[in-house]
C-alpha cells in the first residue's frame, strides 16, 4: 500500500509547445484522450526542484531534496482532466526507484544541478539511467514581467491547474494519483535553452515555433496514493 507524500515544488519553468494532437494520441495508453486548447495538443518540459519530500504528516526538516525535469502532456480519462508523463528525470536514486514502484511513473536517474543567481536559475540535467536513451537539458531561466494568477489566463490555467496524473502500470491497467496545492502564482518567463534532447529521447520530433513560457517560485504539494482507474468519477 502506498503512502501520501508532502513536498514543495520550487523554481519551476513551464516550457509549453503547441503540437499536432495526433502526434500525442499515438503515444498514449488506451483510455486516455488528448486534452486540447485552441485545437492544439501541448507538450511541456518542466524543470524544477522538489524540496522536503517526505511522508505526509512528518516535519519538513526530515524531507529530502529532489531536483527533476519532466516531459508531460495534458489528457482526459472518461472526461476527467489530468497530466500524463512521458518521462521524469530526477537526481535521487532512492526517489526514482520509489516513484517507479509506488506511483508507476517513468522516472529515470539523472545527474542534475540547479543553481540560483539573483532572479535567474541555472538548470542542468544529464540522464544516467542504465539502458535508456541519453537525454540532456541545460537552460537558464527566470521571471519577466508582473506576477499573475493562473486563473486570470485561460491558457495558463489549462497548462498548470492540473490536480491528477495518470499512469499505466506494468500489467497494463490505468492508474491515477490526485495532488493538492494552492493555485499557481505565475510570471511571464525568459529562458535561454542551450540544450534540450528530451523530445528526441522520448520519441518526439522537436516541436516547431516558440514555446509559451511561465515561471513560478512554487507551491507546497500533497500527493495521494496511486489508485486503479475503474471508470467514471472516482
For the record, the C-alpha cell of 20 comes out as 499536432
> Which of 49-53, 134-138, 144-148 shows the lowest per-residue confidence on average (mean pLDDT)?
49-53
For residue 45, pLDDT over 50 is answered with yes
Torsion (CA) 60, 63, 67, 72 in degrees, nearest 10: -80
Q: pLDDT at position 58, please? A: 84
For residue 125, pLDDT over 90 is answered with yes
SS3 101: helix
Q: pLDDT at position 231, please? A: 74
Comparing CA positions, the residue from 117, 229, 126, 101 lying closest to residue 177 is 229
Mean pLDDT along residues 148-176: 94
For residue 182, pLDDT over 70 is answered with yes
Query: Average pLDDT over the chain, rounded to whole?
Result: 91
Q: pLDDT at position 1, please? A: 47
CA distance 160 to 68: 17
For residue 36, pLDDT over 90 is answered with yes
CB 164 within 8 A of CB 80: yes
For residue 234, pLDDT over 50 is answered with no
Q: pLDDT at position 60, please? A: 79
Mean pLDDT along residues 28-48: 97
Residue 99 pLDDT class (50, 70, 90 cuts):
low
CB 233 within 8 A of CB 13: no
For residue 76, pLDDT over 50 is answered with yes
Cα separations (Å) of 136 from 70, 126, 198? 12, 5, 7
Q: pLDDT at position 93, please? A: 65
Q: pLDDT at position 64, please? A: 75
φ and ψ at residue 197, rounded to 5 degrees? -110, 15
pTM of the shown model: 0.93
Cα separations (Å) of 159 from 57, 102, 169? 29, 25, 25
Q: pLDDT at position 97, please? A: 57
- Domains of the chain in start order, with CATH, are 5-228 (2.40.400.10)
Amino acid at each position: 500500500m502506498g503512502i501520501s507524500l508532502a513536498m514543495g515544488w520550487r523554481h519551476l519553468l513551464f516550457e509549453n509547445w503547441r503540437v499536432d494532437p495526433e502526434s500525442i494520441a499515438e503515444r498514449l495508453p488506451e483510455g486516455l484522450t488528448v486534452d486540447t486548447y485552441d485545437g492544439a495538443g501541448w507538450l511541456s518540459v518542466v524543470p524544477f526542484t522538489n524540496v522536503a519530500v517526505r511522508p505526509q504528516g512528518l516535519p519538513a526538516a526530515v524531507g529530502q531534496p529532489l531536483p527533476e525535469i519532466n516531459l508531460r502532456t495534458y489528457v482526459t480519462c472518461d472526461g476527467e482532466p489530468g497530466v500524463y508523463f512521458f518521462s521524469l528525470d530526477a537526481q535521487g536514486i532512492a526517489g526514482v526507484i520509489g516513484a517507479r514502484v509506488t506511483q508507476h511513473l517513468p522516472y529515470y536517474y539523472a545527474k542534475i544541478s540547479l543553481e540560483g543567481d539573483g532572479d535567474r536559475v541555472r538548470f542542468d540535467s544529464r540522464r544516467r539511467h542504465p539502458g535508456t536513451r541519453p537525454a540532456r537539458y541545460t537552460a537558464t531561466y527566470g521571471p519577466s514581467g508582473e506576477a499573475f494568477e493562473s486563473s486570470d489566463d485561460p491558457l495558463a490555467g489549462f497548462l498548470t491547474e492540473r490536480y491528477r496524473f495518470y499512469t499505466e502500470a506494468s500489467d497494463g491497467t490505468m492508474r491515477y494519483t490526485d495532488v493538492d496545492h494552492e493555485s499557481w502564482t505565475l510570471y511571464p518567463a525568459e529562458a535561454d535553452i542551450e540544450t534540450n534532447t528530451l523530445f528526441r529521447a522520448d520519441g518526439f520530433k522537436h516541436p516547431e515555433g516558440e514555446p509559451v513560457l511561465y515561471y513560478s517560485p512554487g507551491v507546497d504539494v500533497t500527493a495521494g496514493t496511486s489508485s486503479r482507474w475503474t471508470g467514471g468519477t472516482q
